[in-house]
């Protein structure tokens, strides 16, 4: 086992890959820093083609035995895996907070429990897939969900543990083996996840973790000739590169990408609840692909609602994410901070006016003030492109047709949110906005049985419930002629 161990928030974390049930070091390293204070956390083994080849080979070797267990045979391993995540919730939360700057209390009470649920839920759901029969006049169709093989899972830095288990759970439950490529800006909880899987008895090679830079390690994995699935969460531009690699080998690809989601507030809404929810769009420093960053308010309540949002936003305390009173932490990395600042400065130059915020906070290098822009026309860059920071825009509308047109006026279609107490109106608007998920009088509620994904440039495919198994399985139909075995 590796001796390359660092302590992060008092927790021992390996800085090496996890391949074939062993820790594997690389000569090349990349530095990992905490966005909270810029402190150096670790030098991480940087994988490339050799590590990708070794991990895929290990996954391929482990695949037949893992697939042969069937859903019932895999269930005890995955249940123990989920239990291990729960048992180390405080450690995982503390490391993730140091690694990506997300709120400690949120990680303890929401993120890590959801990571465990991701594993457990899909292990249970896999049991429901056996015995699916379609009766036809001449034949009985027996639908089988066969494991696909080796899945490459590429995960983002804004919620690395939760979004990795969102992929690992159904992939393993379906009988596949996996190679995880964690985000280079926040790789540490994926390393801990590998330890927990090992402690749960997950066989060697079933779950592998290859760390590294996307253009090197990620590129080697998605272009590998012996993989069967690619699941990616990240930017649209990166997805296009991965898509070309997947197309060259006809490897099925699932991609959950960026968003520029509308947040629609009708005059008949519960304005207090809507205002609190708007303020909540600043969570995780706005580094949430699902966030409703384009606030669209019915003209007749615009002034009243703006004051309610101003009050709600004033309670979004910016500070150290380890402090229980903090509601908005730092941005992930100085490169990303510069990107967010660039969007804000160009918006100001384009004539958009910040109603509040719009500047770097004076509490640290990567902290940016929660910001709301007004005087924003639909064609401005700030209205069209994903900022992925604590930056919202404000627009008004006078009719449902107008707001639907505004909502659909981007290349994205990941999510949408609407507040109204008129059910018919709410459902009509929701049905006309292009989005994979649309919340009415709520936000950020994701049932694991429901479909999740994006339209247009926000993604390809759906996951959740049966949709996950449709992707992570080779679905086979065995059509048996009726009475062919009579006697």
Alpha-carbon distance 197 to 86, whole Å? 12
**CA distance between the termini of the chain:** 59
Total Cβ atoms within 10 A of residue 399: 10
Nearest-angstrom CA–CA distance, 379 and 98? 38
Q: Are 105 and 445 in contact (CB under 8 A)?
A: no
Which one of the listed residues 51, 96, 256, 463 is annotated catalytic? 256
Q: Which of 96, 184, 289, 369 is catalytic?
A: 289
- For 41, residues 6+ apart whose C-beta sits below 8 A from its C-beta are 6, 8, 32, 33, 34, 98, 99, 188
CA-based torsion, 210, 211, 212, 218: positive or negative? positive
Residue 266 a catalytic site member: no
User: Is the Cβ–Cβ distance between 214 and 184 less than 8 Å?
Assistant: yes
Asked about 289 being catalytic, the answer comes back as: yes
SS3 444: coil
Q: What is the CA radius of gyration of the chain?
A: 23
Q: What is the DSSP string of 252-309?
A: -EEEE-----EEEE-TTS-HHHHHHHHHGGGGGGG--TT---EEEEEGGGHHHHHHHH
DSSP designation for 217: I
Angle 112-126/160-173 helices, nearest 10 degrees? 10
- Taking the C-alpha atoms of residue 253 and residue 175, their distance in angstroms, rounded to an integer, is 18
Q: Which residues have a catalytic role annotated?
A: 256, 289
């Amino acid at each position: 086992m590796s001796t390359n161990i660092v302590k992060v928030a008092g927790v021992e974390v390996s800085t090496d890959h996890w391949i074939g049930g062993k820790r594997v070091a690389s000569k090349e390293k990349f530095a990992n820093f905490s966005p909270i204070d810029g402190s150096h956390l670790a030098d991480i083994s940087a994988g490339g083609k050799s590590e990708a080849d070794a991990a895929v080979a290990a996954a391929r070797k482990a695949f037949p035995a893992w697939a042969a267990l069937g859903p019932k045979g895999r269930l005890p391993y995955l249940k123990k895996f989920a239990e291990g995540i729960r048992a180390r919730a405080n450690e995982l939360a503390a490391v993730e907070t140091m690694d990506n700057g997300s709120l400690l209390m949120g990680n303890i009470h929401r993120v890590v429990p959801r990571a465990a649920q991701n594993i457990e839920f899909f292990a249970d759901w896999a049991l429901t897939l056996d015995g699916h029969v379609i009766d036809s006049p001449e034949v009985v169709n027996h639908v089988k969900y066969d494991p696909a093989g080796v899945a490459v899972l590429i995960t983002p830095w804004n919620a690395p543990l939760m979004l990795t288990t969102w992929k690992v759970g159904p992939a393993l439950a379906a009988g596949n083996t996996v190679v995880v490529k964690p985000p280079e800006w926040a790789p540490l909880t994926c390393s801990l996840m590998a330890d927990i899987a090992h402690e749960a008895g997950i066989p060697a090679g079933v779950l592998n973790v290859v760390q590294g830079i996307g253009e090197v390690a990620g590129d080697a994995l998605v272009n590998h000739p012996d993989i069967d699935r690619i699941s990616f969460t990240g930017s649209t531009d990166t997805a296009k590169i991965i898509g070309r690699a997947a197309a060259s080998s006809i490897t099925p690809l699932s991609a959950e990408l960026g968003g520029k989601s509308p947040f629609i507030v009708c005059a008949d809404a519960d304005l207090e609840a809507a205002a609190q929810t708007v303020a909540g769009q600043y969570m995780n420093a706005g580094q949430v692909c699902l966030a409703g960053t384009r606030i669209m308010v019915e003209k007749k309540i615009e002034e009243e609602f703006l004051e309610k949002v101003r009050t709600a936003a004033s309670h979004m305390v910016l500070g150290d994410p380890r402090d229980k009173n903090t509601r908005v932490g730092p941005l992930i990395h100085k490169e990303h901070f510069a990107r967010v600042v660039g969007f804000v400065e160009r918006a100001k130059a384009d004539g958009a006016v910040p109603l509040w915020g719009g500047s770097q906070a004076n509490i640290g290098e990567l902290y940016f003030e929660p910001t709301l822009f007004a005087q924003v026309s639909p064609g401005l860059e700030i209205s069209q492109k994903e900022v992925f920071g604590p930056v919202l825009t404000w627009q008004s509308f006078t009719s449902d047709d107008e707001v639907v047109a505004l909502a659909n006026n981007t290349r994205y279609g990941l999510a949408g949110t609407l507040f109204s107490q008129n059910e018919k109106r709410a459902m009509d608007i929701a049905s006309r906005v292009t989005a994979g998920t649309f919340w009415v009088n709520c936000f950020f509620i994701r049932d694991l049985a429901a479909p999740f994904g994006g339209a247009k440039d926000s993604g390809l495919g759906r996951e959740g419930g049966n949709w996950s198994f449709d992707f992570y399985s080779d679905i086979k139909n065995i059509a048996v002629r009726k009475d062919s075995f009579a006697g």
